[in-house]
Every structure is written in structure tokens, then in C-alpha cells.
Structure 1
Amino acid sequence: MALPRTDSLTLEVVELIGTVVARYYEEYDQAAAAHSLTGAQARVLGLLALEPMPMRRIARKLKCEPSNVTGIVDRLEVRGLVERRPDPSDRRVKLAAPTELGARTARELRDSLTFAREPLAELSDAERTVLRDLLRRMLGEGYPAGAG
């Protein structure tokens, strides 16, 4: 395994990635607040808009405890944004899934995030492709080619 690079270029790239992530979360939290949601609730809703999933998988994706996810899903369910349904492949497992209102809210949240889209629009298709491929490579072999 190669040692991590500590040259100035690598450190600058790491700093820039950190800044992009911080700005993304800041905008995401603002968009969530506009829908009276917490950032965590909005992230769960966004995940579920991609596909219904059990609490444990949500927790793994968000890197948090399943008990935290249960509370988030409970609050989203009370608001009519999420419902629990049996998993067709294993009826003992409950899937959290967005309701019609939840799916619409998730789309509105996603569509309101302009921070990265506006600068990306200034890049050519070739530049965006290179950026995407580099980010996928940084994430490792386990990241699906069609994801995201």
C-alpha cells in the first residue's frame, strides 16, 4: 500500500475537496430548512427517493447508528413523507420508502441545489467526464459506474 502524499499540491486538493463538501452541506441544510427539514432528514429522503431501503442500509450509507435512522424515519413518516412497507423479498424486513409527497419533496430539494451545478455548467462535457471519472477513481473500485 502506498503512503499518503503530503506534497503541497495534494494538500491543496484535499483542502479544496473539503471546501466543496462543506459548501455542499451548507446549501443542502439551507434547502432542507426551506422545507422544514433537518439536513439529516433531507439526506434520508434523498436516499429513499433513489430506492426504498431498510434502516440498516440507510445507516450504513449515512455512516450512523440504525437507531438514529429509525428516529429520522419516524419523523418523516409523521409528516407524510415516508412510509414503511414490507420487503417483497423478505416480509420480516421493513423498507422505508418515500410517499408521493416525499418523492416530490426530494426532487424539489435536489433541484434547489445550485452550488455545484452552476460552476459545473461552465465546464465542457469532456471536463465534466474527466472530473467524474477522477472522483469515481478516488472513491475506489466499489463505487458503481452508473451511480450518482
Structure 2
Amino acid sequence: MTVYQRSEDSQRDLDLLDALGGLIARLLAEGERLAKDCEVPTFFIKALHLIDGPLAMKELGQRMHCDPSFVTSIADMMEKRGLAVRESDPADRRVKRLVLTSAGLDLKHKMEQAMLERSPWRQALTSEERATLISLIHKMAPPLSATDPADCPAEEVTNFLATAATPPVG
């Protein structure tokens, strides 16, 4: 029987791939649990996190790396739940902005606090180690906000998450 031999460097890279895969799986599972706990679709977590004031719907789509029609669906669902309202941009009335209501801000705060409490790096790493981890990740992949949406597969992930089980409204 022949055994396939890997170099130490190749084995380390495969171990890293396995570790990152496990971390991503854990993050997705935590996101799904958080969405279930908050009784919202999983993609609301990302949308609420990204809305940090009145935000043009087009800008939200760019930040989420998703199709404008999907952002419209998100806005519709958020409005239906009383989490956000659409308003015209005072500088250009053709532009619609999404603004979180007090209920939306409360949910955003609750979800962000829960994300922080559940994050594996906050539980396992010191502040200095987290800063190093951020630097290493950015060395390999720039933040999504710095990438061209056309070059980013995040739209596929976001659209996949949109098709995941969605709790019923209220």
C-alpha cells in the first residue's frame, strides 16, 4: 500500500484550510442561531449591521454585494416588521434611503451584542491577538468594503442565505 506523502508546508496549508472551514461553518451556524433567536431571516443580521445611519439602498446593496432587487426585498421585509422606513434623499429625491426605526436600532444593538458574545475570537484570543488576526486576514483578502462587487462571490453567499429557512413575520 502506497501512502501519499505531503511536505510539512503543504500539510500546514491543508490544516489551515480545514481550520478556516471549521471557523466559517461555526460562524454560519452562530448566525443562523442568532437569526432564529431574533426571529429574523439570516440576511437581516448583515443588513442591520451595515446600516449605520440613513443609507441609500444602492449603497446597502454594494456593501452587501447583492442585487438591487434583493435589497428591495430586504427593505420591504424590514418595513413590514417595523424595523426600517424608506425616505427620499434630500439631496436627490430619486434616491431612496433606508433608515432604521427605534425598533430597528434596538434589534441592531441586541444582535451586535450577541454577535460579540458569540464570536470565537473574542472568547479565545486576547485583544492583541485579534488585532494580529485582522492584519493577517486583510493581508490575504481586503475587507469586503474595499473590493469591487463584481469581483466578490459574496453576492452568491448572500443570495444563498436568503433562501435559507426564514422565520415567519411576527
Does the alignment reach a TM-score above 0.5?
Answer: yes
Give me the whole-angstrom Cα distance separating, in 2, the residues matched to 1:35 and 1:23.
18
Task: Assess if the C-alpha contact under 8 Å between 2:63 and 2:144 holds in 1.
Answer: no
Q: Which has the higher contact order (CA 8 A, sep 6+)?
A: 2
Aligned length: 137
2:15 counterpart of 1:15: no
Give, as a single letter, the amino acid of the residue that structure 2 aligns with 1:98.
L
Structure 2 letter corresponding to 1:109: M
**Does residue 112 in structure 1 map to residue 118 in structure 2?**
no
Deviation at 1:53, TM superposition (A): 2.1
Alignment deviations for residues 18-68 of structure 1 (CA, whole Å, 9 cap, x no partner): 3222211211121112222010123212211x2332222222222321111
- SS class of match (2:110): helix
Pick from 39, 55, 66: which aligns with 1:36?
39
1:128-139 superposed matches below 5 A: 128-139=130-141
Q: Distance in 1 between matches of 2:28 and 2:144?
A: 24
Instruction: Tell me: CA distance 1:141–1:100, structure 2 relative to 1, closer, same or farther (3 Å).
Output: closer
Q: CA 1:59–1:129 in structure 2 vs 1: closer, same or farther (change >3 Å)?
A: same
Q: Are the counterparts in 2 of residues 27 and 115 from structure 1 also a CA contact under 8 Å?
A: yes
Cα deviation, residue 14, structure 1: 2.7
Q: TM-score, normalised by structure 2?
A: 0.69
CA change 1:35–1:124 in 2 (3 A) is: closer
Mean CA deviation greater in 50-59 or 81-90: 50-59
Task: Check 1:108–1:141 CA distance in 2 against 1; reply closer, same or farther (3 A cut).
Answer: closer
Cα separation, partners in 2 of 1:98 and 1:142, compared to 1, 3 Å: closer
Q: Note closer, same or farther for the CA distance 1:128–1:41 as it changes in structure 2 (3 Å cut).
A: closer
CA distance in 2, matches of 1:60, 1:39: 18
Query: Structure 1: which 5+ runs fail to align?
Result: 1-5
- With over 3 angstroms needed to count, the CA separation of the structure-2 counterparts of 1:87 and 1:21, relative to structure 1, is farther
Runs of 5+ consecutive residues of structure 2 not aligned to the other structure: 1-8, 147-170
Identity, in percent, stands at 27
C-alpha distance 122-16 of structure 1, shift in aligned 2 (>3 A)? closer
Structure 1 runs of 4+ with >6 Å offset: none
